[in-house]
Copies of this chain bind each other. A is one copy, B any other.
Amino acid sequence: MEMTVKGAADLLKGAKDVLILCHQSPDGDTLGSGYGLYFCLKKLGVRARVLCPDKIPELFKPLLRGYREEPFDPALVVAVDIADAKLMGRLCAQYGDSVDLCIDHHISNTGYARRLLLDREAAGTAEVIFALAKEWGLAPDPHLADCLYTGIATDSGCFKYQNTTPRTHRIAAELMEWGADAAEINRAIFDTKSQGRLAAESALIRSIRYFCGGRLAVAVMDLATIAETGAGPADFDGLTALPRQVEGVEIGVTLREREPGFFKVSVRTSSYVDASALAAQLGGGGHIRAAGCTVRGTADEAVETIHQLAKEFLH
């Protein structure tokens, strides 16, 4: 059942002993929303606890300032920013079927929860928590503002992505007036990188080969190169967008060797090539600007396969 902000606000205000669930591999939006909701409920005199299936990254630890873990048997289970019960990870077995209220912004939400407060226009779930805070008439609070700003900045790529709306900016303005330490939060999220991540980036950049007058860029992360960097697998996550970001590149491809002779291929395009059509030629698929497939062979063979195919798509 889909709820209104007012309906969800009433439900939560009248509740007691609320368990708040975050999704696995927690990011700034699920944590900012989860702890943000906790601090709202605390102000309302409602006891709450936040549960996260995975370890909380160091950079988001400041959100927990003032949080106190209290033991209780939950009377209401709330999932924040969890589009699918599977994303609860290790908590799915216990809570997958028993979420009383899901607060979310993903259009892909599967409707697994008994009640759903879903704002498909929100850049982050933290925008929805902000709407609840306003509905409750809560007084401005700097730490709550830090939580919600963290959620919004994370999911909007610091207001850079398509999902940013005028409302996103107006909420950010109000959160800054509440006292959110926006510059410091952004420094921690966007301008801090691990040594491993930086090594992975450098290796990936170095591996880029350009073809077709610079319109095709192919990065090749074979097993030997990956081992050399000393970076872990997670350090390579999200780097597949890099080759396409090079000036003049229409098709950016990243080949990542998963086992000897077996490459996972990510295809990104800038403006006119249909990435999914290209990937489909190799048995893969995806979206118009981002798609994927697999290729077998040596690194050089894999690059040549991509090169021959891609040039048919460029004009």
- Residues B191 and A164 in contact, CB atoms below 8 Å apart: no
With a cutoff of 8 Å between Cβ atoms, the chain B residues found around residue A190 in the complex are 160
In the assembled complex, the CB of A184 is this many whole angstroms from the nearest CB of chain B, namely 9
Among B159, B199, B202, the residue within 8 A (CB) of A158 is B159
Shortest Cβ distance from A198 into B: residue = B205
Interface centre among A166, A191, A193 (most CB of B within 10 A): A166
Shortest Cβ distance from A189 into B: residue = B160
Q: A169-B173, A169-B176, A173-B169 are in contact. Are A183 and B160 (CB under 8 A)?
A: yes
- Residues A210 and B195 in contact, CB atoms below 8 Å apart: yes
**Alpha-carbon distance A172/B172, docked complex (angstroms):** 11
Q: Would you call A4 an interface residue if the criterion is a C-beta within 8 Å of the partner chain's C-beta atoms?
A: no
A 192-204 to B, binary, CB cutoff 8 A, 1 in contact else 0 = 1111001101100
With a cutoff of 8 Å between Cβ atoms, the chain B residues found around residue A194 in the complex are 246-247
A 139-180 to B, binary, CB cutoff 8 A, 1 in contact else 0 = 000000000000000000011111011111110111011000
A residues whose Cβ falls under 8 Å from a Cβ of B:
58, 158-162, 164-170, 172-174, 176-177, 182-183, 186-187, 190-195, 198-199, 201-202, 205-206, 208, 210, 214, 241, 245-247
